[in-house]
Structure 1
């Protein structure tokens, strides 16, 4: 098997409420709305993040986004009214964890120098 890309899925109960959060998180509207209950953002590396309505699975998703400068992203998100639930610094990564309105976990992660 040759894997050429990935699409991460986030299950939410209310797409309209989720759109508000994810538009602030990504700093823009969705790149695609293939269906009324789906929104997709394309990431610079080519992968996609899809937010979709699935009430049975809402709140059980985790998404980790690798960023170049965690402090810069936290400043930008603070201006958007998004505050991390927790922050941590480890030997390999600095992280900040957010929760969307359904409780899905979104982790922003910056590799420590020399580890990525």
Structure 2
């Protein structure tokens, strides 16, 4: 996987330059985009781009996803819903606003 558009004198589309920097950090995002480097799943896991690299085929990846889903299912559904909101929406806010959102979410559980 990679953002290889710079090979063709293009910018990454669909927000790739913005999202990658937010996930792996500005220095590494610049390096990956400037060099148009392709990385494998193991490297993507190492740099935090993906949560898990799975050896094997689509079935192995599916089984890993089911394993994680089963683990999540044992947790409180209202808490999972609230923290999902706090993380997803709060990540787009400044810290003070994110903390206020977290408090609002906490009140729903």
Structure with the largest fraction of strand: 1
More helix by share: 2
TM-score bin (small chain): under 0.3
Q: In terms of Rg, which structure is larger?
A: 2
Greater relative contact order structure (CA < 8 Å, 6+ sep): 1
